[in-house]
């Protein structure tokens, strides 16, 4: 599993629709079961943590109200407006990496690009980027440690960071930048409080930086191992969006989505009691996976909505195409 987790999960899927680990967490592996989990929030709730996660940790209708307020930040016209700046950052990051000779793609290319693009998107100065990356490393270390006190301390650090961002924009018009506009968002007739604002910005910085960096790594690995496709994409750059979309569907940066059962239920013929943690695999739980050799041919010949599980959930991320779009830039 540690050597090649994707291949191990694929092999497990063929013989086991639902796998249970030592902690009792159920991992849902089959396409139909994954869709069932994603489309039944009354049974499989997104409220998996005691800490607020806006809006990911909420179920409808509460989730719907936050999504209605946050979705416009990732509207197509807004993304197109950001395009030239994103491309300039991509060119700059690649040019800097080329001066290094041998490159650690994750540390010296993907992460710096992800931090730069998200900071620019939010209207944050470049000086913040190093602080953000340092905090990200401490956050990952705290998560891996399993120490709740350490995790809580890191969360408080980020909340203090967001408070500084908020205080610096007090009295500024909402048109100044996206962070300022977010401070003016109304939920049920009130602005987001500090904890909600911190949660959203943590998702849009830490979460998106990790997702964008992972997406860059996945795509560069695919290009390195598929020289024929690499050359074809150089010759036919109009194929890039379809290629990126399909590669990230088959080997996505977010391999699973967490839920918790609200009542006793049966999954894959196995009983699940209430309050049982569940993970639904989102990248490749498709009945036809394994029969395709060409990701681009696959993208052209398959009805995409029928196989893309996470994009069909009512709680799918508003910026779910954001990482792939950044990779295209």
Per the prediction, the chain carries an average pLDDT of 84
How far is Cα 282 from Cα 207, in angstroms, rounded to an integer? 16
How far is Cα 311 from Cα 12, in angstroms, rounded to an integer? 24
List, for residues 113-151, the tens digit of each pLDDT value.
999 999 999 998 888 888 888 888 888 888 888 888 998
**pLDDT more than 90, % of the chain:** 42
Predicted local distance difference test score (pLDDT) of residue 317: 59
List, for residues 191-241, the tens digit of each pLDDT value.
999 889 989 998 888 888 989 999 999 999 999 999 999 999 999 999 999
Predicted local distance difference test score (pLDDT) of residue 291: 42
Q: Please, which pLDDT band fits residue 257 given cuts at 50, 70 and 90?
A: confident
How far is Cα 266 from Cα 34, in angstroms, rounded to an integer? 13
Q: Which of 2-11, 67-76, 119-128 shows the lowest per-residue confidence on average (mean pLDDT)?
A: 2-11
List, for residues 23-35, the tens digit of each pLDDT value.
888 989 888 888 9
Token duo for residue 75: 């509207």
Instruction: Give the residue ranges of DSSP H helices in the chain.
Output: 5-15, 31-38, 62-70, 76-98, 111-122, 127-145, 148-168, 178-183, 194-202, 208-225, 227-235, 240-250, 295-301, 322-328
Predicted local distance difference test score (pLDDT) of residue 252: 84
Predicted local distance difference test score (pLDDT) of residue 311: 52
Closest CA to 85 of 51, 34, 42, 119: 119
Q: How far is CA 175 from CA 8, 123, 134, 169, 258, in A?
A: 48, 11, 29, 11, 35
How far is Cα 216 from Cα 327, in angstroms, rounded to an integer? 6
How far is Cα 184 from Cα 182, in angstroms, rounded to an integer? 5
**pLDDT more than 70, % of the chain:** 84
Q: What is the pLDDT averaged over residues 169-178?
A: 90
Predicted local distance difference test score (pLDDT) of residue 236: 95
Token duo for residue 108: 């010296």
């Amino acid at each position: 599993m540690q050597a090649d987790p994707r291949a191990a999960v694929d092999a497990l899927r063929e013989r086991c629709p639902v796998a249970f680990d030592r902690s009792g967490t159920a991992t849902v592996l089959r396409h139909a079961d994954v869709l069932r989990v994603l489309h039944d929030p009354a049974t499989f709730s997104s409220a998996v943590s005691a800490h607020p996660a806006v809006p990911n940790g909420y179920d409808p209708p509460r989730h719907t109200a936050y999504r209605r307020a946050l979705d416009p930040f990732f509207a197509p016209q807004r993304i197109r407006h950001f395009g030239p700046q994103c491309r300039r950052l991509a060119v700059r990051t690649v040019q800097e990496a080329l001066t290094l000779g041998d490159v650690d793609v994750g540390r010296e290319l993907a992460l710096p690009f992800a931090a730069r693009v998200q900071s620019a998107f939010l209207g944050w100065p470049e000086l913040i980027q190093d602080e953000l990356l340092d905090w990200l490393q401490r956050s990952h270390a705290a998560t891996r440690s399993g120490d709740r006190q350490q995790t809580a301390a890191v969360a408080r650090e980020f909340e203090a960071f967001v408070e500084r961002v908020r205080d610096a924009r007090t009295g500024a018009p909402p048109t100044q930048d996206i962070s300022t506009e977010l401070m003016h968002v109304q939920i049920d007739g009130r602005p987001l409080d500090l904890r909600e604002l911190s949660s959203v910005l943590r998702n849009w910085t830490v979460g998106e930086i990790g997702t964008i960096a992972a997406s860059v790594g996945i795509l560069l690995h695919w290009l390195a191992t598929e020289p024929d496709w690499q050359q074809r994409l150089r010759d036919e750059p109009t194929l890039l969006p379809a290629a990126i979309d399909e590669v990230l569907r088959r080997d996505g940066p977010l391999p699973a989505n967490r839920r918790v059962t609200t009542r006793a239920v049966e999954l894959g013929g196995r009983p699940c009691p209430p309050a049982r943690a569940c993970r639904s695999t989102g990248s490749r739980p498709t009945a036809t996976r394994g029969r395709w050799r060409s990701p681009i041919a696959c993208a052209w010949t398959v009805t995409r909505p029928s196989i893309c599980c996470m994009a069909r959930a009512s709680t799918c991320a508003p910026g779910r195409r954001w990482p792939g779009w950044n990779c295209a830039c």
